[in-house]
Amino acid sequence: MRKTTLRLAGVAVAGAMVLAACGGDSSSEDAAGEEPAAEEATSEASGEDTSSDEGATEEPTTDGTGAACAVDQVDGDLFLYNWSEYIDPELKTAFEEQFGVTVTEDNYDSNEAMQPIVAAGNSGYDVIVPSDYMVTIMIEEGTIQKLNKAAIPNFGNLDPNLDTSYDPTGEYVAPYQGGTTGLGVNLSVVGDDADAGWGLVFDPAIASKYAGQITLLNDPRETLGAALKYLGYSLNTTDKGQLDEAKDLIAAAVENIAAFESDQYDELLTTGQTVIAHGYSGNVVVSIDEYEGDDEYAYFVPSQGGTIWTDNMAVPFDAPHPCTAHTFINFILDAENGAQLSEWNYYASPNARSNEVMDPEVQEVLAVMYPDDLSGLEYITDTGVFETNFSDAFSEAKG
């Protein structure tokens, strides 16, 4: 196996970023993916309809799909269900001030935690942010509605080369951000010359050195996917035997794991409470940057490969304020707003116009999140009826 040291893995060529992050020309499999760090829902959106028409600039129009809304029309406050630490608070404030509404945000820590809440109906949410493979699932089950693109003129700002095959007809979602999933490490403990592979977590001879100082994501597809990549398998396997091997690998690693954590893993790393953190590229890099620990910490995709993903904005099938939802999506897809989003959370933008105005230094940092060799990256895909095996295996592995 090719040996890549951590110091080398923390450096990448600028420009390996946007198309790769958002489903462009990489040698990964079918487009569908995962997400950034998050937490369980913290409050229940009320869904109260304030029925405001403020901001409407023309008569409502529709192309036969989606809500009959005008550009910039709002029909109530916005209830956003999102991954945690994934949107600049100043963008929410700007939206509130521009359109005379309030934004209430709840958070979730995995697609699998969000999906049943929305699917059950009456969630009260207007916009959700599912990852690519979950988009496919939610389209098939009818729990997100088609978008009325006439009400989202900034949709044209998106990179036309994006691979959004998880939304086959291109009618249901607007890409939001993209990134990779890998490991953040404390170089002062692990060392610059350590092998930059998943063995840091799954090889007992290595991981035992950091017992109680490792976190794994509390996410079945991501964490089982990491184990599958370590074993040399696809993270989208539908082979029960391979999945069982991955389950056993995680179960054996539990004794070295401090927590299965999808929210605070980055802070735990940079505050010295852990040494190795399985997590999403932007969250780890932002935490390193805030700590000013570029020489002490590194983020990398392990040498065996990992997950690449695109998250998307979608409107639940029974959203109480669909016009406000469309206006919010259009607001995020504005060139300047999209650039501000990436400059705040350090995730790649699928917005071509945003990338034209984004801070060049941020773009250089974003490039570090992608390996030079993209062939080991895979998008998580919907495995159909096999999907429940991942959830079951993860629960069993954690014990």
Q: How do residues 297-342 score in pLDDT, each as one tens digit?
A: 999 999 999 999 999 999 999 999 999 999 999 999 999 999 999 9
| Neighbour tally for 97: CB within 10 Å | 9
pLDDT band at 281 (very low <50, low <70, confident <90, very high): very high
> Dihedral angle at the C-alpha atoms of 102, 159, 376, 34, nearest 10 degrees?
20
Distance CA 66, CA 62 (A): 7
Residues of the chain with CATH 3.40.190.10: 6-20+180-306+365-390, 78-177+309-361
Phi and psi at residue 300, in whole multiples of 5°?
Answer: -155, 155
> Dihedral angle at the C-alpha atoms of 310, 217, 144, 336, nearest 10 degrees?
-40
pLDDT by residue (tens digit) across 171-205?
999 999 999 999 999 999 999 888 899 999 999 99
Distance CA 265, CA 24 (A): 29
Which CATH architecture is the domain 6-20+180-306+365-390 placed in? 3-Layer(aba) Sandwich (3.40)
Task: Please state the pTM of the whole predicted model.
Answer: 0.82
CATH number of 78-177+309-361: 3.40.190.10
Residue 351 sits at the vertex; the CA angle it makes with 345 and 355, to the nearest 5 degrees, is 75
Question: What pLDDT does residue 313 have?
Answer: 98
Question: What pLDDT does residue 293 have?
Answer: 66
Question: What pLDDT does residue 29 have?
Answer: 36
